[in-house]
Amino acid sequence: MKLGIIDYGAGNLHSVANVCKSLGYQGTLISSAEQLENEGITHLILPGVGSFGDSMAAINARSLAQPIKDWIAADKPFFGICLGYQVLFESSEESPGVEGLAIFKGHVTRFPKNELKVPHMGWNSVAPSTEFKDKWSEMGTDSPYLYFVHSYFPVPEDPSIIAGTCTYGIDFAAAVSRGNLFACQCHPEKSQATGQQLLKHFLKS
């Protein structure tokens, strides 16, 4: 396999690359459609930190939106992290008028006002969906604890793609999956051994 990590200026880019390297997988930074086509990439990670609008602007500026869509349409191994998860949907409350990649139907929304602080920051447990138990395999627990930092989360129109849920005041879709695609709101690169196992499962697929 050959790992590609989309480079569009995301703040957690090198953290993701370093964790993958520690697992024995050297990632190639991909910043253009030509690279993605010519580097022989077999597995692709889309990391992300920041805002929905800025992330889509950066992806579009590098002409990477359509190549990412084509990659996913071909059902090649794909892993989206945080903003790299959110931009798979049509739009976000955070950036009105900005179109996402629209891989999935649904809208990214902000946590409602309640007694809990926003952003949701810190460790929280994820309840894997029965249909996607294999995506969370070899973690040694049925409720893995992972690290989150976010104020917004996707609401998929199709509940059958939800691979795991998390509770922070309300239940939200912590991950989605379809075919060889997996994307999560947490940061596996910051989630120590548990997050590393999540990435390792993907990289071995």
Give the pair of three-digit tokens for residue 126: 């994820």
Digit-coded pLDDT (tens) for 109-153: 999 988 899 999 999 999 999 999 889 987 878 899 999 999 999
pLDDT at 9 over 90: no
pLDDT at residue 189 in the model: 95
Least confident of 25-29, 75-79, 91-95, 137-141: 137-141
Which residue has 């579009």 as its token pair? 60
User: In the predicted model, is pLDDT for residue 200 greater than 90?
Assistant: yes
Q: How far apart are CA 195 and CA 139, in angstroms?
A: 9
Measured between alpha carbons, how far is residue 22 from residues 28, 155, 186 in Å? 14, 33, 19
154 confidence band (pLDDT: 50, 70, 90)? very high
Options 3.40.50.1580, 3.30.70.260, 3.40.50.880, 3.90.79.10; CATH for 3-203 is 3.40.50.880
The partner residues of 27 in beta bridges, in order of sequence, read 3
**In which band, very low, low, confident or very high, does the pLDDT at 13 lie, cut at 50, 70 and 90?**
confident
Q: In the sheet where 43-46 sits, what is the strand order?
A: 27-30, 3-6, 43-46, 78-81, 181-184, 170-178, 162-168, 120-128, 145-150
Residues recognised as catalytic? 82, 187, 189
Which tens digit of pLDDT belongs to each residue from 41-83? 999 999 988 899 999 999 999 999 999 999 999 999 999 999 9
Residue 181 has pLDDT above 80, yes or no: yes
Mean per-residue pLDDT, 190-205? 93
pLDDT at 48: 86
Per-residue pLDDT band for 23 (boundaries 50, 70, 90) equals very high
pLDDT range class, residue 164, cuts 50, 70, 90: very high
Q: State mean pLDDT over 22-29.
A: 95
12 pLDDT band (50/70/90 cuts)? confident
> What are the phi and psi torsion angles at 174 (to 5°)?
-85, -15
Model pTM score? 0.96
Q: Single out the residue of 110, 158, 164 nearest to residue 142, CA to CA.
A: 164
**What is the structure's pLDDT at 15?**
93
